[in-house]
Homo-oligomer: A and B are copies of this chain.
């Protein structure tokens, strides 16, 4: 289960604690035994976690059919959940891309200014460098490049 799912033993035991999976039984020495069905369930749980589902939401997923007693509505709710998570990941990705562009864009320009710099590199010098308009740096770069 550990190797096939990429989780730690502790994580698998924790999923059992909260009632998501369950071993078929135990070996005489106390080691847990699982059916292939449980491995598949664990892998689905792992993928749902990666996709941003909380354990509570995963519990909802596994209870959708029971809760609605109507496969069509259950499927629609599942799609709703998936789309919500997709929106969330897209927002995160957009934030990251913007940070990267903000940062990378001006970085190359500054690298040139530094390459031509006659002063030895140092914190005080760079933060007061006349070649660089610190006030106009994008915020990301300002906080990495600048002091405090």
Contact = CB atoms under 8 A, between A and B. Distances in A.
A112 to B, nearest CB: 11
Contacts of A123: 65-66, 69
Given A82-B96, A93-B89, A114-B72, A144 B104 contact: no
Please classify the interface of chain A as helix (H, G, I), strand (E, B), loop, or mixed, using the class held by over half of its residues: helix
Contacts of A85: 96
Contact of A40 (B48, B74, B111, B139): B139
Nearest to A147: B65
Interface residues of A, number: 55
B40 A70 contact: no
A147 B66 contact: yes
Contacts of A65: 123, 126, 144-147
Contacts of A92: 50-52, 89
A141 B126 CA distance: 58
B104 A71 contact: no
B96 A143 contact: no
A56 to B, nearest CB: 16
A130 interface: no
